[in-house]
C-alpha cells in the first residue's frame, strides 16, 4: 500500500484556505498513486485554536468545511484530525482522527491523553476518548492515535493507549499518529527516543505526521517520519516547510530519502525564520521595522528578519544618543548594507534634552540614576512605534531570554514591539546564531560579535557591570527555568550562592515586566509566556 504523509501549515480558523490546501494535497496524493493520505491533528481548524473552541460559529464553520472535505475523498482514503462534537456530561468536544473513504467517515478515534502542561491546555476544551480498536484497510490492520497518545513513555498518565491498542485480538500491522507537536531545541532527540522505544517495545512500525508552521509563539516543525519495528527511521519529512512523503508499506522505503533530522543551532535558526515569516503572513503584515543599536541582539534580529522577508521589506533604524559610540553607528550601517535592507539614522539627543527640560522642575536636586537611562530607551521605543504606525511596519523587539529573565530591559522602551524574535534565545545562543549566519555569508560585522555587550545608556557602560558573565548566567537560568532546580541544587552544580540568589531574586521581581512584553517565539523547553504562569505578587522565597 502506498501512503502519503502530508504535513500542512494551516491558519487557525481560516477554513476556506485550509480546505483549499487540504483538497489540493489530497489530489496530489491521489495523482501520485497513493491509496491513503495522512494529515496532521486538527488540520481543518489549525492547532491550537484555544478559546475559539468556545464559539458556536467557529464550530459550525469547521463542520461545514469538514462536510465539504469528506465529499471530496474519493479514489483515495485519508486520515485527518478534526473536531468532533459530543453530547452528555463533560466537555462537548473530542479531539479526533477520522478515517474517510469513498466520501464517508468509516472509522474514528478520539484522543485519550489530553495534555495540560507547558503550552497545552486541552482538558479545558476536550473530553478524553476511550480505548481504541484497530481498523482494516487494503487488507492491512491499522492502529490510529492522536499526538499525546504515543507519549506515555514519560509516564504522565495512568493509561497507555498504545498498550491498550496492542492488547486486542486484532494486532495492528503499523500505527499511525497524527500530531501538532511544537518545536523547541532538543525536541527532535526527544521524539526519536520516545518513538523508537515505542516501536521496539511493541514490535510495531510507526507513521508520524506533524503540523508545520508558526502559530503565535509556537513553531511547529513538521519532521514527519516513518519508523520500522526496530525503531529505525526509514523516511523523514522536511523541517519547517510543508511536505509530502510517500512510502510503501512493508519495506517502508520512501520515494525521496532525506537524512534523519538532528538538534542543532541550524534548527533553531530555521524555527525562528519560519516563526517570523508565518506570524507576519498570518496577521497580514509584510514589512518590519527594527531599532538597530550596533549590538549583537538587534543585528541577529535584523538578519533573521531578512531571511524571513525580502530585505527591502526590512527597515533598520539607528537612534544614537550622546553615549552611543561612533563604531556602533558605523557597525549598524555596515550591517544594513550587508543585509541590503533599509537604513535610517535618527539621533535622539534633542528629544533627550526636551524630556529633561520638561521634567527638570520635578527632578531638581535629585541625582541622575537609572531613570535617565530608561528615558533614552523609551524615547527610542516611542519613535520606533511612531514609524510602525505611520509606515505600516510591525516593530520587532530585539531582547534575548537572558535579559528578559533578569529584567535587563526597559518597559515601554526596548521592550516595545509586536513580536519578540529572540525572547526565548539565551545570549550565548544569540552569538551562535550570528556565527552560523556568517558561515553562509559575512552579514554581521565581526566587531559586533567580538565587542563586549553594552546597552550604551551611560558612559563606559558594560552588561557585565551589572550581570554575571553570560557564560555563567545562561546555564544558571537553564537550570532554574527549564530544569526547575532550586538554590541548593544550583550551588551543588558549582554556581556561587550569592549569584544564584541574586539571579533568582531578579527573575521574580521582573515578572511584571514579562507580563507586558510582546509575544516571543518559543525555542526552548520552558519559555516565558503562555507556558510559564507565575504570579506577579508573591512572597515565596527559595
Count the domains in the chain: 2
Whether residues 274 and 342 fall in one domain: yes
473 inside domain: no
Whether residues 119 and 167 fall in one domain: yes
Tell whether the model's pLDDT for residue 314 goes beyond 70: yes
Calculate mean pLDDT across residues 403-407. Answer: 97
Cβ neighbours around 520 below 10 Å, total: 25
Residue 474 is predicted with a pLDDT of 98
Among 301, 377, 293, 350, which Cα is nearest to 327's? 293
Tell whether the model's pLDDT for residue 114 goes beyond 90: yes
Backbone angles phi, psi at 397, to 5 degrees: -80, 150
Whether residues 419 and 275 fall in one domain: yes
Q: Which three cell numbers stand for residue 287?
A: 514589512
pLDDT in tens, 433-486: 999 999 989 999 999 999 987 776 777 777 777 899 999 999 999 999 999 999
Of 247, 263, 279, which residue sits at a domain end? Answer: 263
Whether residues 273 and 189 fall in one domain: no
- Cα-trace Rg, the chain: 26
Of the pLDDT bands very low, low, confident and very high (cuts 50, 70, 90), residue 257 is: confident
Calculate mean pLDDT across residues 190-215. Answer: 96
Q: Which three cell numbers stand for residue 140?
A: 492491512
pLDDT above 90 coverage of the chain, percent: 90
Of the pLDDT bands very low, low, confident and very high (cuts 50, 70, 90), residue 153 is: low
Domain containing 147: what range?
A: 2-263
Please give the span between the terminal C-alpha atoms of the chain, in angstroms, as a whole number: 58
The Cα 524–Cα 20 span in angstroms is 33
Cβ neighbours around 230 below 10 Å, total: 11
Query: Do residues 1 and 138 touch, judged by C-beta distance below 8 A?
Result: yes
Residue 169 is predicted with a pLDDT of 84
What ranges in 451-533 are assigned the alpha helix state H? 470-477, 487-492, 497-509, 511-515
Among 470, 463, 486, 474, which Cα is nearest to 524's? 474
Residue 453 is predicted with a pLDDT of 78
474 inside domain: no
For the ranges 118-132, 314-328, 441-455, 524-538, the lowest mean pLDDT is seen at 441-455
3-state secondary structure of 204: coil
CA separation, residue 397 to residues 197, 287, 302, 390, 412 (Å): 41, 14, 10, 18, 11
224 inside domain: yes
497 inside domain: no
The rounded mean pLDDT for the chain is: 95
- Active-site positions read 41, 111, 147
Whether residues 312 and 423 fall in one domain: yes
The Cα 269–Cα 290 span in angstroms is 18
The Cα 37–Cα 206 span in angstroms is 15
511 inside domain: no
Residue 458 is predicted with a pLDDT of 72
Tell whether the model's pLDDT for residue 369 goes beyond 80: yes
472 inside domain: no
Residue 173 is predicted with a pLDDT of 96
Amino acid at each position: 500500500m502506498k501512503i502519503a504523509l502530508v504535513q500542512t501549515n494551516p491558519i487557525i480558523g481560516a477554513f476556506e484556505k485550509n480546505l483549499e490546501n487540504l483538497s489540493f494535497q489530497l489530489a496530489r496524493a491521489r495523482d501520485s498513486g497513493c491509496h491513503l493520505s495522512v494529515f496532521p491533528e486538527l488540520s481543518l481548524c489549525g492547532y491550537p485554536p484555544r478559546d475559539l473552541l468556545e464559539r458556536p460559529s467557529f464550530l459550525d464553520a469547521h463542520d461545514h468545511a469538514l462536510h465539504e472535505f469528506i465529499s471530496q475523498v474519493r479514489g483515495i482514503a485519508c486520515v485527518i484530525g478534526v473536531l468532533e462534537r459530543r453530547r452528555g456530561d463533560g466537555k462537548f468536544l473530542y479531539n479526533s482522527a477520522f478515517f474517510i473513504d469513498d466520501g464517508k467517515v468509516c472509522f474514528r478515534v478520539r484522543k485519550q491523553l489530553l495534555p495540560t502542561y507547558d503550552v497545552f491546555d486541552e482538558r479545558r476544551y476536550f473530553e478524553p476518548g476511550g480505548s481504541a480498536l484497530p481498523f482494516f484497510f487494503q487488507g492491512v490492520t491499522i492502529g490510529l492515535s492522536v499526538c499525546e497518545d504515543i507519549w506515555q513513555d514519560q509516564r504522565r498518565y495512568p493509561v497507555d493507549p498504545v498498550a491498550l491498542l496492542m492488547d486486542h485480538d486484532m494486532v495492528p500491522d503499523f500505527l499511525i499518529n497524527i500530531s501538532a507537536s511544537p518545536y523547541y531545541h532538543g525536541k527532535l532527540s526527544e521524539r526519536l527516543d520516545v518513538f523508537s522505544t515505542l516501536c521496539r517495545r511493541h514490535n510495531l512500525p510507526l507513521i508520524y505526521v506533524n503540523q508545520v508552521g508558526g502559530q503565535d509563539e509556537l513553531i511547529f516543525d513538521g519532521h514527519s517520519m516513518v519508523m520500522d519495528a526496530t525503531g529505525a527511521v526509514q523516511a523523514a519529512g522536511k523541517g519547517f516547510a510543508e511536505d509530502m512523503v510517500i512510502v510503501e508499506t512493508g519495506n517502508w522505503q520512501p520515494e525521496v530519502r532525506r537524512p534523519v533530522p538532528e538538534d542543532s543551532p541550524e534548527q533553531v535558526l530555521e524555527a525562528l525564520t519560519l516563526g517570523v515569516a508565518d506570524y507576519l503572513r498570518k496577521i497580514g503584515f509584510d514589512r518590519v521595522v527594527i531599532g538597530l543599536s550596533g549590538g549583537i541582539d538587534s543585528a541577529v534580529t535584523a538578519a533573521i528578519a531578512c531571511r524571513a522577508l525580502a530585505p527591502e521589506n526590512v527597515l533598520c533604524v539607528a537612534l544614537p544618543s550622546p553615549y552611543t559610540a561612533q563604531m556602533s553607528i558605523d557597525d549598524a550601517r555596515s550591517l544594513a548594507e550587508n543585509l541590503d535592507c533599509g537604513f535610517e539614522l535618527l539621533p535622539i539627543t534633542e528629544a533627550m534634552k526636551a524630556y529633561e527640560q520638561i521634567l527638570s522642575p520635578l527632578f531638581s536636586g535629585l541625582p541622575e540614576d537609572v531613570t535617565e537611562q530608561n528615558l533614552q530607551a523609551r524615547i527610542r521605543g516611542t519613535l520606533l512605534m511612531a514609524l510602525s504606525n505611520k509606515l505600516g511596519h510591525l516593530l520587532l523587539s530585539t531582547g534575548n531570554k537572558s535579559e528578559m529573565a533578569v529584567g535587563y530591559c526597559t518597559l515601554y522602551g526596548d521592550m516595545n514591539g509586536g513580536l519578540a524574535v529572540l525572547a526565548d534565545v539565551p545570549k550565548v545562543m544569540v552569538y551562535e546564531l550570528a556565527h552560523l549566519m556568517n558561515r553562509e555569508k559575512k552579514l554581521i560585522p565581526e566587531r559586533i560579535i567580538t565587542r563586549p555587550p553594552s546597552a550604551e545608556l551611560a558612559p563606559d557602560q558594560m552588561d557585565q557591570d551589572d550581570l554575571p558573565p553570560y557564560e555563567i548566567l545562561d546555564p544558571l537560568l537553564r537550570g532554574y527555568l527549564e530544569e526547575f532546580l532550586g538554590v541548593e541544587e544550583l550551588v551543588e552544580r558549582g554556581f556561587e550562592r550569592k549569584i544564584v540568589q541574586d539571579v533568582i531574586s531578579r527573575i521574580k521581581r521582573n515578572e511584571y515586566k514579562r507580563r507586558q512584553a510582546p509575544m516571543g517565539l518559543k525555542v526552548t523547553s520552558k519559555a516565558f509566556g503562555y507556558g510559564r504562569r507565575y504570579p506577579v505578587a508573591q512572597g515565596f522565597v527559595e
